[in-house]
């Protein structure tokens, strides 16, 4: 199904295209062009057309791209047409923020389980969730067939949590802990660390 050999960096831009298209759609727009998208995203029009050409032909010469159609195609390519269940580990401040975050809806994800290892938090109710014991990650996540997880625990706990998730069959992890974790081949990890982003910028100040 997925095209032969699309560079990672190209795949990484598709979600940005999809997000920009969503905004245009919400503004009631019907069509757009590689030029307009590029303008909004700070990416050259040529690059956008080249990126899309890895997956097919989605535009019309002289007209541009139908926003709804291209959005559908990108959702299909990215496999976010359905909402996937995501396990969240860590019910601290960040975990709570993620539970209450409304930005997942309609973008392909839904938090389905929440774990924490703190006995004071286990059993507690946060939003629509009862916090489960992290000890049960392996059994519950595996039973439910969940493939994605978000790790929002302290750095010291992150590797153990990731190991448990991997044993449970999770194949994609978004890690908020400020540590590079080890995972077997075939398991993907993405990192979010505000310090890293801030430090990148101070160099240029």
Q: Which residues bind DNA (CB under 7 A)?
A: 7-10, 33-35, 43-47, 49-50, 52-53, 57-65
Burial grade of 26 (CB within 10 A; 0-12, 13-18, 19 or more): exposed
Please identify, using beta-carbon distances, which residue of 94 and 157 lies nearer to a copy of itself.
94
Give the one entry of DNA, a copy of itself, none that residue 101 binds, where binding means its C-beta sits below a cut-off of 5 to 8 angstroms depending on kind.
a copy of itself
Cβ proximity to DNA: between 12 and 123 the closer is 12
Judged by CB, which is closer to a copy of itself: 135, or 196?
196
Residue whose C-alpha is closest to residue 10's, from 64, 58, 49: 49
Nearest approach in angstroms of CB 62 to DNA is 2
Alpha-carbon distances, residue 79 vs 8, 73, 108, 117 (angstroms): 15, 10, 8, 32
Q: Which does 44 bind (CB under 5 to 8 A by kind): DNA, a copy of itself, none?
A: DNA
Please, what is the minimum distance in Å from the beta carbon of residue 31 to DNA? 9
In whole angstroms, how close is the CB of 71 to DNA at the nearest point? 14
Nearer residue to a copy of itself within complex by CB, 41 or 122: 41
Residues that bind a copy of itself (CB under 8 A): 2, 11-12, 14-16, 18-20, 23, 40-42, 77-80, 84, 86, 92-94, 96-98, 100-101, 103-104, 107-109, 147-148, 150, 171-172, 174, 178-180, 188, 190, 192-205
């Amino acid at each position: 199904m997925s095209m032969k050999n699309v560079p990672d960096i190209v795949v990484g831009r598709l979600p940005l295209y999809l997000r920009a298209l969503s905004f245009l759609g919400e503004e009631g727009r019907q069509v757009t062009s590689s030029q307009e998208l590029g303008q909004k995203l700070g990416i050259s029009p040529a690059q956008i057309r080249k990126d899309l050409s890895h997956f097919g032909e989605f535009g019309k010469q002289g007209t541009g791209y139908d926003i709804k159609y291209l959005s559908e195609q990108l959702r299909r390519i990215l496999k976010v047409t359905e909402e996937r269940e995501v396990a969240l580990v860590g019910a601290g401040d960040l975990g709570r923020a993620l539970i209450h975050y409304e930005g997942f809806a309609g973008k392909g994800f839904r938090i389905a389980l929440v774990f924490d290892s703190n006995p004071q938090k286990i059993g507690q109710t946060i939003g629509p969730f009862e916090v489960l014991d992290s000890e049960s990650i392996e059994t519950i996540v595996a039973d439910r067939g969940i493939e994605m997880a978000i790790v929002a625990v302290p750095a010291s706990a992150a590797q153990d949590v990731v190991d448990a998730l991997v044993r449970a069959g999770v194949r994609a992890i978004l890690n908020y802990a400020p540590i590079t974790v080890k995972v077997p081949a075939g398991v993907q990890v993405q990192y979010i660390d505000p310090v890293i982003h801030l430090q990148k910028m101070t160099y240029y100040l």
